[in-house]
Chain A
Amino acid sequence: MYRSQKLSLRYYTAAVTLFGVMILFGLLSALYYLYPSLLFNIFNFNMSKILHIDTLVIWLLMGFLGAVYWYLPKELGREVEGMWLAELTFWVFCAVVAVVAIVFLFVQYGGANEFSMWFINQGRKYVEAPRWASIGIVAVMLVFAYNVIATCIKARKMTGIMWVLVLDLIPLVAVYLDAFPAVTNMSVDLYWWWWLVHMWVESTWEVLIGCVMALVLMDVMGTSRRIVETWLYIEVMLVLGAGILGLGHHYFWIGTPQYWLSIGGFFSALEPLPLLGMVVHAIYDAGTHRLKTRNQPAYYWITTEALLNFIGAGIWGFMMTLPQINLLSHGTQWTVSHGHFAFYGAYVCGIIAVLYVAKQQTSGVDVLGGRAWKWGFGLLNFGMVGMVMGLLLAGMAQAFYGRAIGGSTLMAFTTASENPWFVSGMWARMFFGVMFAAGYVVLAYDLLSSPKRVPAAGALPEPA
């Protein structure tokens, strides 16, 4: 095993741990909707939500870094350049996350001054980490970029996947710099802040997970390099074509010019089209391999990614992306429902697939199967589907009673929050959230336990 693959396992461990922390604060955040006075003035909803969302961002990022460190030496046939720096920044990354979490838990907030911005909370939604920590994250990303680029140069080898990855590193680092400005005009501030949130999630990360999935498909399904690279190029083209200007759907109600309604609506409406192509591809691969593989869990999670990405991002997104609907639905639990489903489909399933690839290769079993992963798979997927249905119900109640009937007043918001449809939706979310948490426990147990030897059934695909 390469040194960078050992580092990758550390990243995976940190990612899975933070995945658990994310779920914990997700459950706590859900409880506040049912018991609004819970932990009042001790630990308020806003801090729980910050920890839920920030740990989501960090664990996925750690999963991506782990996946790249895992595949980089295999792809280029040599050890990653600058490993000591990569190992050092891993510990720096963990220390930064731990310190920020402690500050969020115990200090929580400060006055409206420079000190708070530097040491407590930067005050920017989803990237609340104080400024010193944000600088630390930039340093980690720069070292990661150096590792990838320097290894390509030293290896004197560039594959199509590596070209896409290297080019993606530029926006990956550059767009995060958007976390820093402190513009006093709220519209201008939000205008640039959405670059960070949207460009990371719907462009840069999409390409990054595309690169990772291309490597996983060659590894698990034996798909040829030509096929995965062609799909990757198509994905990049579509991200550039629809994903970037899809940014417009975030500009609807923040004080930007009206033409953003047309741009955002049009390009967002195009986004489900390529996702349908991915569904066709997933079914083609499933049929070609007759559902047989050496790594069943990874294979099922990859296929699930394509299907749930279509449903979560495609169907859920299209329901509320046109401006006339979005005027009444944005910022309700409807959006939360779409966010949960889309993130889960696009990223979480992919990262879990990568974790199973690592499990198989570190344990040395020829065929990875068993029963525990199926329980984890079922509980996580049913839990997520149940959660998003509950959130959808609650969000539609908010949009209907609070916005469309009530006219978006504070009183209407309060009335909608007490509406039985909203309350039952939030209870459903809680119930299925617990189911999802149980799925996480099974997943973590399965990843940590020794794999059972499963007999190979017929001819199985070899890595490409």
Chain B
Amino acid sequence: MTPSALLETAALLGLFVLASGGYGSLYSAGRIWSRPALIRAGGVCWALAFALALVIAIHTPLDPGWKLLILASAVVYLVIPPMTWRYLDRMHHEQEPHR
């Protein structure tokens, strides 16, 4: 790995997780305050995360296995916020009548 590739790859990896975190945060904020614009902004963040995953896969000198793992995790990141949200919502609603 060349010196510049080291910094570029590390920065891309960090930004990839940051963008995924942005997606999760904006999606949740949009859902809780019923703001579709925030949910859309979350979607843009995920698209950015996926684009970063593609850049990592094409542009960086990481081994193919790691590139595949990053692409796969980009897809998993897409699923986590809505899945967690649905689960939380269901648990809270089931709990309501008992309180």
Chain B residues positioned under 8 Å from A276 (CB to CB): 20-21, 24, 77, 80-81
Chain B residues positioned under 8 Å from A266 (CB to CB): 69
Point out residues on A near B: beta carbons under 8 Å. 224, 226-227, 230, 262, 265-266, 269-270, 272-273, 276-277, 279-281, 283-284, 286-288, 310-311, 314-316, 318-320, 322, 324-325, 327-329, 396, 399-401, 404-405
Is chain A's interface secondary structure helix, strand, loop, or mixed overall?
Answer: helix
Q: Give the distance in Å from the alpha carbon of A224 to the alpha carbon of B99 in the complex.
A: 9
On whether the beta carbons of B91 and A315 are closer than 8 Å, the reply is: no
Residue of chain A at shortest CB distance from B94: A226
On whether the beta carbons of A316 and B14 are closer than 8 Å, the reply is: yes
Is chain B's interface secondary structure helix, strand, loop, or mixed overall?
Answer: helix
Chain B residues positioned under 8 Å from A265 (CB to CB): 66
Q: Can you list 6 A-B pairs with a CB-CB distance of less than 8 A?
A: A226-B91, A269-B69, A276-B20, A279-B28, A280-B27, A325-B6
The answer to the question of B58 belonging to the interface, with a C-beta cut-off of 8 Å to chain A, is no
Cβ contacts B54-98/A at 8 Å (1 or 0 each): 000000011101100110010011001100110010011001001
Q: Give the distance in Å from the alpha carbon of A384 to the alpha carbon of B50 in the complex.
A: 30
Chain B residues positioned under 8 Å from A230 (CB to CB): 91
Q: Give the distance in Å from the alpha carbon of A276 to the alpha carbon of B62 in the complex.
A: 24
Chain A residues positioned under 8 Å from B92 (CB to CB): 227, 288
Inter-chain pairs besides A283-B28, A328-B1, 11 sampled, C-beta below 8 Å: A224-B91, A224-B98, A273-B77, A280-B81, A283-B25, A284-B85, A288-B32, A319-B10, A319-B13, A324-B9, A401-B3
Q: How far is the CB of A431 from chain B (nearest CB, A)?
A: 23
Please judge, given known A-B contacts A230-B91, A280-B85, A281-B88, whether A319 and B14 are in contact too, CB under 8 Å: yes
Cβ contacts B19-57/A at 8 Å (1 or 0 each): 011001101110011000000000000000000000000
